[in-house]
Amino acid sequence: MLDQNWLKSLLRGGHVNSLFGNLSLGFRDFVFVEGSIRNDWSSTLPAGNNSYLYPSVSAGLVFSELLPKSNIFSYGKIRAGYQFALVKSVSLIMF
C-alpha cells in the first residue's frame, strides 16, 4: 500500500525549504579560500529522510606575486574547487 501522505504531497507539487551559508577569506590579496554549505528539505520526501546537503570548498593563489615583475605577464591566478552532494538514498515508491 502506498503512503497516502507521500502520494498527496507528490501530486500537490510540494515545496523545498533551503538554507545557505558562505564564507570567504583572503590573505594579503594573494591567497583566497572560500567555503559554502547549502541544505534543502523537500516536502515530497519522507520526514526524517528529506534533507540534501551540498558542501563546497575552493582555494585560489595569485602566483604572479611569486614571479619577478614582467611587461609580458602581469597577472596570474590559479583556482581549484570541490563540491558534492550528501543525499540519502530514498525509495521513490514506498510500500
| pLDDT 10s digits, 26-68 | 999 899 999 999 999 888 777 787 888 999 999 999 999 888 8
Whether 95 maps to a domain, the answer reads no
C-alpha cell at 10: 507528490
Number of domains within the chain: 1
Whether 92 maps to a domain, the answer reads no
Q: Which residue has the cell 615583475?
A: 69
Mean of the per-residue pLDDT values of the chain: 83
- Would you list the DSSP string of 37-49? EEEEEETTS-TTS
Whether 59 maps to a domain, the answer reads yes
Domain range spanning residue 32?
4-87
Instruction: Tell me the pTM.
Output: 0.65
Q: For residues 22 and 35, give the distance between their C-alpha atoms in angstroms, rounded to a whole number.
A: 6
